[in-house]
Amino acid sequence: MTTHVSDAAVFASLLLAGFLGMELVTYLVHRFVMHGALEHLHLSHHRNAAAEFAAKSPEANDVFPLAFSVVVVAAMWAGFNIDGLSWLLPTFVGVTLYGVVYTVIHDGIIHGRVRWMKRGDSRLAASLAVAHRSHHRANGEPYGMLFPWLTMKRESPTAARHDAQQPA
């Protein structure tokens, strides 16, 4: 029984590390790749951000989630097939969960591309939308998704309330 508990604890720890680690990866890739060498691809998102998801055609920025998914599939394959790399499985399950949460928050809640997911009166959803809108407006900080307030400059409460009501 002790082995099962320790196996579960290791699995949960690696899953959590994969999930939380992706926020750092997201920040770094967004900051130094999407707003760096490959900014010409990412700008399609900044120009097309408010488009309804169903009416949207693929854009150059879609190469980034595609690249992340290729990395996840390769890591999962390695975890299943290469001795000593089984730790990749729970880690990349965490990465996959982050991708799901990111998609729901970014595409569904912030940009309202999925009608039934449009943000409601949640303070968290409103604060994430304000942070993301600030990023689109200034083309700068915050670059992260789930914890944008770690790097974002503070706005006045009045501006934040007004901004939360505007479409992303």
| Pick from 72, 91, 84: nearest CA to 21 | 91
Instruction: Write down the pTM of the prediction.
Output: 0.77
| Pick from 124, 121, 120: nearest CA to 112 | 120
| Pick from 164, 121, 129: nearest CA to 148 | 129
In Å, what is the CA distance from 59 to each residue of 41, 44, 78, 115, 129? 8, 6, 30, 20, 22
| CA 81 – CA 34 distance, rounded (Å) | 32
Residue with tokens 């010409």: 40
Q: What percentage of the chain carries pLDDT values higher than 70?
A: 66
Query: Which residues are CB-contacts of 104 (< 8 A; sequence separation ≥ 6)?
Result: 117
User: Would you state the structure tokens that stand for residue 162, as one six-digit string?
Assistant: 């007004």
Quote the pLDDT of residue 52: 53
**Burial of 166: CB neighbours in 10 Å, binned 0-12, 13-18, 19+:** exposed
Quote the pLDDT of residue 39: 85
Q: What is the pLDDT of residues 87-136, one digit of tens each?
A: 999 999 999 999 998 888 877 777 776 666 665 667 777 777 777 777 77
| CA 107 – CA 66 distance, rounded (Å) | 15
Q: Judge whether residue 41 has pLDDT over 80.
A: yes
| CA 77 – CA 126 distance, rounded (Å) | 38
